[in-house]
A and B are shown apart, each in its own frame.
Chain A
């Protein structure tokens, strides 16, 4: 049976982890590679790096991070942030990423997803959707870190990018991100029910029950969280055991 994945996400800027990771045994918590190694050892099912200052000049540091991580971690690595073209996908895959996540560029031009998926396969093309609630049962896409309104319906957009060849959706509720109030379940459920590909729930995790709800109520195939793991509130193992006890198939080895 396929297991539900837990994915810790690290925000990286200029090659350093921001919103620090607070593990007791880390020598350099600001080093993305050290943090990724710790999560690999802790049993994370995948690791996600988000390059939050993905300017052209900073690309090189991210390639280096990807390369060093791939040398030391034996779990899949997703990299997002500032990905604009099929060439960016190629560069990140060659550096060591297993999956590459598009965000604003996919909104500006959904055909870039088709181009990238045709070249590298759907299995490595993730589309990150940042959605905000606009009315009851309706969510819209926001870009540029949630600041720019697009007027595009989130459910419709998810269907569009999957039709173009996206192999996975990374769904973040902008209303919940950073609140620790739990995933936006109706949003997660609406997207998950609308697309054939796996959906990763993100944004708002504060407790282990939130992780469970993302799967049981939201229908997510994977859950992504940052602070509850970074600050040591819970270990990956604790989260997995908790979810398993709630009846969700987890990898515990």
Chain B
């Protein structure tokens, strides 16, 4: 069993690598590697796409790295391997990113990534810190977690799904902000599970054991 965390030049992957390796050890999920090698991605059983920074820059990076996107799409879309997108890695699954300029996303789960505009103007943006999750559905990745558990967020844009059935969890911040989305073999988390202490580690373990 191999989990590939895709390195396409976006952000700090060290903590993600360590968190996934630790939980893979606990649930016997095999190896975890950080890689930008399309052959490794193509041969992986599970794929994790992280991402920090702006949507257009991350998308450009993903497509600039020769063969990464094709290998990822082949594994996730054609062969239905479990996929987890984190933060901007999740946002890239959208139809469109509306940060700075309109940028097409991968279109895996229909929706737009739009600016956070809290109804209360006193609320700060970025939405930064720990917020409690409200579950909108049931899913193996939430196994062992109770509603109200906290995850660590840091973002100024969020994913608005077209089909409410794709929304698995949200948080409240002067309105609803999307926290987890899922469809078939794909999951996206807006927060950082690798930075969300036991709640995040539990979700990582659940993802590593998930057999969609």
Contact = CB atoms under 8 A, between A and B. Distances in A.
Interface residues of A, number: 36
Contacts of B135: none
Contacts of A75: 152, 195, 197
A4 B172 CA distance: 14
A96 B128 contact: no
Residue from A40, A96, A251 with most neighbouring chain B CB atoms (10 Å): A251
Given A5-B130, A167-B126, A123 B18 contact: no
Contacts of A70: 12, 14-15, 18
Contact of A40 (B127, B173, B197): B197
B15 A96 contact: yes
B2 interface: no
B52 A124 contact: yes
Interface string A47-83: 0000000000000000000010011101110000000
A95 B150 CA distance: 26
Contacts of A140: none
B40 interface: no
Given A119-B53, A197-B124, A198-B126, A1 B131 contact: yes
B173 A2 contact: yes
Given A97-B12, A124-B52, A3 B150 contact: yes
Interface in A141-180: 167-168
A122 interface: yes
Contacts of A2: 123, 127-131, 153, 171, 173
Interface in A70-107: 70-72, 74-76, 93-98
Nearest to B154: A123
B45 interface: no
B185 interface: no
A237 to B, nearest CB: 14
A97 B150 CA distance: 21
A67 to B, nearest CB: 7
Nearest to B100: A118
A120 B129 contact: no
Interface in A217-241: 221-222
B177 to A, nearest CB: 10
A3 B131 contact: yes
Interface string A117-142: 01111111000000000000000000
Contact of A122 (B14, B19, B156, B199): B156
Given A74-B19, A119-B53, A251 B124 contact: no
Contact of A74 (B12, B153, B200): B200
A34 interface: no
A147 B127 CA distance: 34
B11 interface: yes
A251 B150 contact: yes
B149 interface: yes
A45 B129 contact: yes
A27 B37 CA distance: 41
B48 to A, nearest CB: 16
Interface of B: 11-12, 14-15, 18-19, 52-54, 57, 88, 123-132, 149-150, 152-156, 171-173, 192, 194-201
The 7 closest A-B pairs by CB, nearest first: A121-B53, A70-B15, A123-B154, A251-B130, A93-B12, A198-B124, A3-B130
11 contacts: A1-B172, A3-B130, A4-B129, A67-B14, A74-B198, A119-B53, A120-B53, A123-B155, A124-B154, A167-B156, A197-B125
